Structure 1
Amino acid sequence: MASYTYELIELGDDAHGLGCKCCRFIKGTDLPRPRKDLSESESRTLAVGFAGSVLKDWTKLNAIVKRFEGVLQKRWLKKGTKQRREILLRACPEMPPCLRPDFQGFRNGQKNLPRSRTCPSRAYLWPYINLEDLQQAYPMLLFINSRGRHLPQNFISTDIDNAHLGAGWEFKPPKCGTMIFHNQRTPKTRVDPGLGLLGLEIQAGIYSFLVQCVTLILHDVVPSQFFLAPHQPVPPPLIPKRGDWVTLQDQMLEAPYRLPQGLDLDRLKSMVSTRHAAATDHVWLLREDPSYFTETLIEWKEHDWREEVCTCLECWRDAAADMLTHAFDDFLFWHEIHRRFKLMPTLETQLARADLEQVRLQKKDELRWGELDELVNFIMIFPMANIRRGLPGSPRMRQCYPLSGKRDAKTLERWAMKRGRSEAERRVDTVFHAMIDCEQRALHQLTPLIQEAQYMLDTEPKAAELVDSWVLGQFADLSLLAELSDQMQRFKPWSDAWRICTVGGMVDKSIAKIMTLSQSLTEAIIHACKESETLYSPASKLWQYPADKRPSKANNSQMRHAESHLDLFWGELEENVMDYSGEDVTEILAVRGLRKRKLYRTPKWKDPILAPAAQVNQAPRFGLIELNPNVPKKRSAGEDHAGATKTPKTKTRGVASTPLDEEEVVTATPEPEQAAPSVTIKVKKRTHRVFSALLPEAGAENHHKIEVAWDDMLQAMADIGMMPEKLYGSVWNFRPTEECVVEGMTRGIQFHEPKEVRRGNKIGPHMVRVFGRRLQHAYGWTAGMFVCE
């Protein structure tokens, strides 16, 4: 018998009684649990049997791969989807059809059906063995290559982590202080014997399946040749053909089929750097751009959990306090994470001074990782809290929760969904609630839940329409923090030591300073917003910022007035924060990288420049009579009145029309003249059109109407060497590569895919202006820097 069991599985359908799919998902009743009555002799028998099966199948697979990997790749790539599907089903008749089959019962399984009919048992131990993934060209070949050319011990921890397990697998000593390993030191793997037995069983199933697959692909090869044929050169590494751009979702889906990757410190630093830059730009744009300030304020007001739809001044002040505290918390904590990663020594340096016998890093290195781990886990609270409060009150989901806008309602009461809601609404509710609930995260793990949410957003349009841009932003932050935590966990076996052995008090003292500053700023900003005399509703004329309208003297005056009012609000806010808490907001921003930035302000309007009338030299006209030599010529009227001046005739009735020659030419934007860029970069015509919109010249005609297609922007960034990478949610990361045509590029930048793009439209003029300003602040790019080839 296996080392796990499913309760009530043998009792039949009538006695199963596990409830509907949502209840089973929430309670985790489908998940595998360990046997409680497994004796020592049974455990030994199972371990020997599984280990023997693993070594036997791996030896055969290794021999086949060394001799026939090139043939396997060639044959598999030539086969169609139907042929691949037939081979997979012959090797595993019960193979689930969809991605992450451990969530399949929750997606579209019928209610009240027993788990034995809706959820195959193998789906929880081998969720990556499914038809949707393996019938593609490259995942199967990656799977065969990694498992056939590397020892099984390299995969044991990953195989256990990838299994979707239920409760009861946690290792708990029977008594505090009990000796577990007698007369031997702690093993390097630090794996509980129960989980180790499960890992052997999982690997036995994997290698047995792969041997069946390669045997079916090489159906015409005599079995004795698997060991007797000569070795062949190693074929070139496979490069999977994904979409046009790299996505984090694709990398996460390919991870179970590859050799487990260790900690990629450089990639972590790049991700943290771009997120820190995005947090910095967000705070600065709230300080600089009145339209960005009001749009962000409206988003936070729409997701306010305290009251139902209300537009009183007090509600706007509460929403402004939430918006500003969130912006400063993001700025402070991401700056702290970025600073700690910059100070982190290289992995080679840390491993060179590590204690290999005890499998421990040096104490100061363990403390660095422990502080980072604690800080990342602490910051996860913020996006989870925002989703918990904002999703039930979001405009697209508000109708599903009758108590979402009740101030006195508890969190669980706000998440109580009405009956009769659609399947998409219930799926969004269940997945997002599982991510923010402690018990659900313990059952299903945060990373698989994030992957399931992203899969839902990519494959189910009705569910994707229910999640707006504000919720997607919080989801993206939570996903990035989960990725950081998982990356640090991959630093095994060293990560087990700092997570278990690091003294909590030392870590708490190290990060207490930034937490104290965050709490002090939060209280002061809330007080300052309540006492503010310059904070009004976004509908007020004081906030109107017609940057997207045709330039005119009135619009220019209104823009300057809105910018002055924003400066007045920030000045009052900083003064109130200083009086309440003694914190200098300007100094906090300055010491964290914003000292050299300058606010962009609209210059004064200049009167339109009238173009001079064009001087047209008309050739003299001659009649036929003038060509007759017998007729005497007369002097022209111009010669008779050479010194006379023509008096213009003014029209006294109706509207006078302006002659075409005298039409005035008006500059599009009244910006000051810019100096020519010192460096020019030649780009393609399509790329030049994008950067001309993002970085317009002074006086660019009709720039207030320019829209940019999202695909054009991705291609333009790729053309100059900034490779796009799709992260979770709506976040795109642009990182410089070796082929970057702009010198001195050392860090990337993040942009959120605008909501207009997700509806099939282009980037609006407002977001084009925001993206352009962020590029100017980040890299110092100016208008005219990119020229057409």
Structure 2
Amino acid sequence: MELRRDHRFDPFGPDAAAYDDDDLDLAGVDFNDPAAFAKLLGRGSKLPIPVYKAPADVRREAKEMSSKIFTNFHILREILMRHEAAIQKRWAKKTRQQRLKILVDAWPGMARMHRPDFVAFRAQSEQQRGVDARHRDYYMWPYINQEDLLRPKTLPLLLNARGRHYPSDFAAADFEAMHLGTVTGRLVPIFLNEHTMVLHGATNAQDYGKLLSWDDHPDAFEWMHTRKQFLPGEGLVVLEAQERVLDFLVICCQEILRDIPMATLTTGTFPIQPEPHLKTESESCGFQSLALMAAEAPYRLPAQLDLGRIESLLGARASAAEDHLWALREDPGYFAEQLFEVKENRQEMLKDVNGDVHPALRLGREATFWTRVIGNVVGEAYVDLEVYSELRQQAQDLRTLQTKYDAVISPTEDLPEEYLAALLKFRHYLNQAAKGPLNQLRDGVVASPAMRKFFVREPAMDTKSTRIAVRSKSGVNMNNIELQLIWLLRTLWEDEIALFFARLPLVLDELERLLEAEPQAQALLSVRIAGVIGNLSILSQCLSQLDLYLPWARSFENALASREDGIKKEFADRSKPWAKMIAALEEKNLAPVAKLGNPSDKKFAYPTEKRRTKENVEALRHAERNLDDFWATVDQVVHSKCGNLDGTAMRRVLSQPRILQRTPEWVDEPTITANNHEGEKVSNIQADAIYKPFSALYSDLASDTSERPGDSSSSRQTLVPSRIKTKTRGTPQKAPSPITVDGSINPDPPSIYIPVDARALKTFRTIFFNPTVTSTPGEVSWNDFLHAMTSTGLFAAEKLYGSVWQFWKLDENCRIQFHEPHPRGKIPFTTARRHGRRLNRAFGWIGEMFVLKEK
């Protein structure tokens, strides 16, 4: 709803955006009566009606609280300037019971659990007993709880943030923390129309909480309308929250420093000290965790929009989508693995209420089922590439605009129109992109192997229909962990009122906390579902970053109202080629590829882990021919339905001059030799024996191979294979130094060498394993892989959600993502080999670059 001064409209919250001025009968409405507003907006029966409070009372309360806030803020700041290092050391040495006593003495009745508001919300939605869903403290101070504050770093973080930065820096974040309470009606701010309360930018008690009448101040209405400042009711609950938090922190400091007399605690008796450094997680354990960063966020200074992080997350994900498509076309074993993985998570795998299998799985109908699986795998690969490439490009454009307008962006001013429009467009695309993983959860969770015991399928009425009805299986008893996991997952995939209230980032945070804490919960997730959660977390993190762009993020919903139709139309136009691809891959169009892609007859068996023999080489070549035939047919089908895919990421990738490695024919004698560092002659080297274009069809169609500006693949270091033809031989020997991960000869030795310890060297030798050597390949533990990547000194690691880990080069904005093996913490050799190929394509790495570090 557009807010206009002549309406004197004071919205209760985001629900107001759903109403149109033309639908409201404003005649005779008393805009100072909260009950009239509730009736006008149809909210009378939904949420409690707020209490009206007169301007004089609001000013008095705000002045009293502001005075107390700044008194405690100055005391806390003075204490920290002199004693922060001592407080950190003393707190770290205290036992859990000692910490607990200090906390509960300073805050009687403190909630015991993490995010008590979410616990109460879940209990309310499930009508559980034993949890007081009306407990006001839970919703007003969800970050004040024993579980979080008893951790060694949390209280020191909160003290540092609140004592070294003004209360106004936390105003928007403190109100945002109450979101679950305000949208559910558990917190009801008072009602006062035609006034605005100033919090943002105020650095003294006189200005902080000042109440301005729209009639007396020329900017007061505009500040409220654009959410730069606060409604009076919002402002009062923020002041109340901050007053108690600062009082609590001062008491905690006094208890920790109880041996120092209060009279001298903040005097010149103790000189001012440099601000101490509190170790970050990466400094403590070698890598970062998105889950821990999310858990610590309420106790730190509110972060600002980090478009660099957004771009790197989406860039790495877009590169992973391209690598996934590459592996599907190059590696028959990977292709078959993906088909079986999707198969095991399709709802046809569920038995119906009578214990019968789905008609598509019955003898003679397998082709129909595998056609659906193939369409699933190919369609997701294509759409993921399009979506993440588009989001990456928008993130790059946003960074350019942010730099362009950096000099004029101010918290007291509106964002430049071009920049605001781009942010709103990006936000819409992110929300649309999140629907893909949410739908994958809806379809896949109930059918995944470990979850099938909880669900049952209704009998199929039409054997040709793809519509499947699934419900919970009756008579199945679930323990608390199973109940909590399924509630969280259901909240995500149903995408209804519970998700609207709690919002995607919070639900994902709670899901990741459960998975980290409970191995049983983790064991219930299939590899595919863990990957979907990881993809969803990337989109959620980008949305969270936009929500941190305060104070402007508070106005995004209002700003969207006049632009939403245009953004939706633009998205529809942009996504038309994507919709065409999906339509081309529908079941009715894939009959020609069903038999070619069905892996049941082991046509894609690919024994790369075995020593080269004539039989194994022929098996490799047979699988590669089958895969090439499959993709050639898919390309013909898609091209016949979609044309040349002009303007799409798929066209760019399929027409680029990259090549697929293929196994050469077996012969008994080698045609070349190469020398290693020790001077030993080596044979049986695949040096450009057979290379094929990524897509013969689109390579022929391509008129140019220029890449979209900013595409990460354009900066990749792809090793050029040697043009010397060679064959394989029956007796493999030690590989020479210039062998690449793909088995081709690099004419020159590595230009750089990376010294690593013995543990990392063993890992890299497996990842970059060459089948011509006599050593036997093996699996790699995930911890060894983490150690190997970070021990190079070139990468830092970050745990995202689900199974996704991100590694970024410390000297440049370049990132790559890998999935942690699930449920075992071991990377199979075939997967490790693919990791090596990805590292080779991304950074030009080969096995010979890694040498043992001198002791």
Q: Given the two structures, how large is their TM-score scaled by the length of structure 2?
A: 0.75
Query: Could you say which residue in structure 2 is the equivalent of 1:435?
Result: 492
Contact in 1 for aligned 2:780/2:827 (Cα 8 Å)? yes
Query: Could you say which residue in structure 2 is the equivalent of 1:767?
Result: 831
**How many Å separate the matches in 2 of 1:234 and 1:358?**
32
**How many Å separate the matches in 2 of 1:307 and 1:114?**
36
**How many Å separate the matches in 2 of 1:532 and 1:275?**
28
Shift of 1:486: 1.1
**How many Å separate the matches in 2 of 1:124 and 1:141?**
23
**Cα distance change of structure 1 residues 593 and 370 upon mapping to structure 2, 3 Å threshold:** farther
Query: Could you say which residue in structure 2 is the equivalent of 1:786?
Result: 850
Query: Could you say which residue in structure 1 is the equivalent of 2:343?
Result: 301
More deviation in 374-383 or 422-431? 422-431
Q: Which one-letter code corresponds to 2:796 in the other structure? A: M
Contact in 2 for aligned 1:306/1:406 (Cα 8 Å)? no
Q: Which one-letter code corresponds to 1:770 in the other structure? A: R
Query: Could you say which residue in structure 2 is the equivalent of 1:542?
Result: 603
Give the paired residue count: 693
Q: What secondary structure does 2:506 align onto?
A: helix
Q: Which one-letter code corresponds to 1:197 in the other structure? A: L
Query: Could you say which residue in structure 1 is the equivalent of 2:558?
Result: 500
**Cα distance change of structure 1 residues 493 and 543 upon mapping to structure 2, 3 Å threshold:** same
Query: Could you say which residue in structure 2 is the equivalent of 1:220?
Result: 259
Q: Which one-letter code corresponds to 2:753 in the other structure? A: I
Q: Which one-letter code corresponds to 1:443 in the other structure? A: F
Query: Could you say which residue in structure 2 is the equivalent of 1:376?
Result: 430
**Cα distance change of structure 1 residues 444 and 415 upon mapping to structure 2, 3 Å threshold:** farther
**Cα distance change of structure 1 residues 728 and 112 upon mapping to structure 2, 3 Å threshold:** closer
Q: What secondary structure does 1:683 align onto?
A: strand
**How many Å separate the matches in 2 of 1:320 and 1:585?**
24
Query: Could you say which residue in structure 1 is the equivalent of 2:667?
Result: 606
Query: Could you say which residue in structure 1 is the equivalent of 2:22?
Result: none
Contact in 2 for aligned 1:733/1:751 (Cα 8 Å)? yes
User: Could you give the per-residue CA deviations for residues 659-714 of structure 1, whole angstroms, max 9, x where no partner exists?
Assistant: xxxxx8445999565544331314222222211111134612244x3221211111
Query: Could you say which residue in structure 1 is the equivalent of 2:703?
Result: none
Q: Does 1:80 align with 2:95?
A: yes
More deviation in 572-581 or 69-78? 69-78
Structure 2's unaligned 5+ residue stretches are 1-11, 13-45, 194-211, 351-356, 671-729, 736-741
Query: Could you say which residue in structure 1 is the equivalent of 2:8?
Result: none
More deviation in 402-411 or 451-460? 402-411
Q: What secondary structure does 1:66 align onto?
A: helix
The equivalent position to 1:327 in structure 2, one of 381, 393, 396, is: 381
**Cα distance change of structure 1 residues 548 and 48 upon mapping to structure 2, 3 Å threshold:** same
**Cα distance change of structure 1 residues 195 and 524 upon mapping to structure 2, 3 Å threshold:** same
**How many Å separate the matches in 1 of 2:534 and 2:287?**
18
**How many Å separate the matches in 1 of 2:751 and 2:412?**
55
Shift of 1:100: 2.4
Q: Given the two structures, how large is their TM-score scaled by the length of structure 1?
A: 0.81
Query: Could you say which residue in structure 1 is the equivalent of 2:477?
Result: 421
Shift of 1:378: 0.8
User: Could you give the per-residue CA deviations for residues 369-414 of structure 1, whole angstroms, max 9, x where no partner exists?
Assistant: 1221111111011001110111111111112112378588999963
Shift of 1:129: 1.7
Shift of 1:222: 2.2
Query: Could you say which residue in structure 1 is the equivalent of 2:299?
Result: 257
**How many Å separate the matches in 2 of 1:550 and 1:387?**
40
Shift of 1:532: 2.4
**How many Å separate the matches in 1 of 2:332 and 2:190?**
56
Contact in 2 for aligned 1:731/1:752 (Cα 8 Å)? yes
Shift of 1:211: 1.5
Query: Could you say which residue in structure 2 is the equivalent of 1:396?
Result: 450
More deviation in 162-171 or 516-525? 162-171
Contact in 1 for aligned 2:123/2:129 (Cα 8 Å)? no
Contact in 2 for aligned 1:307/1:406 (Cα 8 Å)? no
Q: Which one-letter code corresponds to 1:37 in the other structure? A: V
**Cα distance change of structure 1 residues 374 and 190 upon mapping to structure 2, 3 Å threshold:** farther
The equivalent position to 1:184 in structure 2, one of 211, 218, 223, is: 218
Shift of 1:604: 1.7
**How many Å separate the matches in 2 of 1:545 and 1:170?**
63
**How many Å separate the matches in 1 of 2:743 and 2:317?**
31
Q: What secondary structure does 1:539 align onto?
A: helix
Q: Which one-letter code corresponds to 1:420 in the other structure? A: V
- Written as runs of structure 1 = structure 2, the 5 A alignment for 1:261-340 is 261-306=303-348, 308=350, 310-311=360-361, 312-340=366-394
Q: What secondary structure does 1:235 align onto?
A: coil
Q: Which one-letter code corresponds to 1:203 in the other structure? A: Q
Query: Could you say which residue in structure 2 is the equivalent of 1:707?
Result: 779
**How many Å separate the matches in 2 of 1:299 and 1:726?**
23
Shift of 1:277: 0.8
Shift of 1:724: 1.2
Query: Could you say which residue in structure 2 is the equivalent of 1:27?
Result: none
Q: Which one-letter code corresponds to 1:504 in the other structure? A: E
Q: Does 1:578 align with 2:639?
A: yes
Contact in 2 for aligned 1:66/1:234 (Cα 8 Å)? yes
Shift of 1:432: 0.9
**Cα distance change of structure 1 residues 725 and 398 upon mapping to structure 2, 3 Å threshold:** same
The equivalent position to 2:759 in structure 1, one of 674, 686, 695, is: 686
Q: Which one-letter code corresponds to 1:759 in the other structure? A: R
Structure 1's unaligned 5+ residue stretches are 5-31, 610-663, 739-744
User: Could you give the per-residue CA deviations for residues 43-72 of structure 1, whole angstroms, max 9, x where no partner exists?
Assistant: 555444433432332232223222322332
**How many Å separate the matches in 2 of 1:106 and 1:411?**
33
Query: Could you say which residue in structure 2 is the equivalent of 1:53?
Result: 68
Aligned-CA RMSD value: 3.5
**Cα distance change of structure 1 residues 735 and 576 upon mapping to structure 2, 3 Å threshold:** same
**How many Å separate the matches in 1 of 2:748 and 2:138?**
62
Q: Does 1:167 align with 2:223?
A: no
**How many Å separate the matches in 2 of 1:525 and 1:412?**
20
**Cα distance change of structure 1 residues 170 and 399 upon mapping to structure 2, 3 Å threshold:** same
The equivalent position to 1:129 in structure 2, one of 144, 156, 162, is: 144
Query: Could you say which residue in structure 1 is the equivalent of 2:418?
Result: 364
Query: Could you say which residue in structure 2 is the equivalent of 1:10?
Result: none
Q: What secondary structure does 1:435 align onto?
A: helix
**How many Å separate the matches in 2 of 1:354 and 1:305?**
53
**Cα distance change of structure 1 residues 435 and 543 upon mapping to structure 2, 3 Å threshold:** same
Shift of 1:748: 1.1
Q: Does 1:237 align with 2:277?
A: yes
More deviation in 476-485 or 157-166? 157-166
Q: What secondary structure does 1:542 align onto?
A: coil
Q: What secondary structure does 2:449 align onto?
A: coil
**Cα distance change of structure 1 residues 469 and 210 upon mapping to structure 2, 3 Å threshold:** same
Shift of 1:448: 1.4
More deviation in 460-469 or 113-122? 113-122
**Cα distance change of structure 1 residues 127 and 580 upon mapping to structure 2, 3 Å threshold:** same
**How many Å separate the matches in 1 of 2:634 and 2:734?**
34
**How many Å separate the matches in 2 of 1:301 and 1:195?**
50
Shift of 1:114: 4.4
User: Could you give the per-residue CA deviations for residues 333-364 of structure 1, whole angstroms, max 9, x where no partner exists?
Assistant: 10011112223345763444547597222222
Shift of 1:478: 1.2
Q: Does 1:677 align with 2:749?
A: yes
**How many Å separate the matches in 2 of 1:442 and 1:589?**
34
**How many Å separate the matches in 1 of 2:263 and 2:390?**
61
Q: What secondary structure does 1:532 align onto?
A: helix
Contact in 1 for aligned 2:768/2:836 (Cα 8 Å)? yes
Q: Which one-letter code corresponds to 1:683 in the other structure? A: P
Shift of 1:81: 2.6
- Written as runs of structure 1 = structure 2, the 5 A alignment for 1:474-553 is 474-502=532-560, 503-526=563-586, 527-532=588-593, 534-553=595-614
User: Could you give the per-residue CA deviations for residues 399-447 of structure 1, whole angstroms, max 9, x where no partner exists?
Assistant: 2112378588999963535343212322221011112322011222221
**Cα distance change of structure 1 residues 517 and 566 upon mapping to structure 2, 3 Å threshold:** same
**Cα distance change of structure 1 residues 539 and 190 upon mapping to structure 2, 3 Å threshold:** same
Contact in 1 for aligned 2:51/2:191 (Cα 8 Å)? no
Shift of 1:201: 1.9
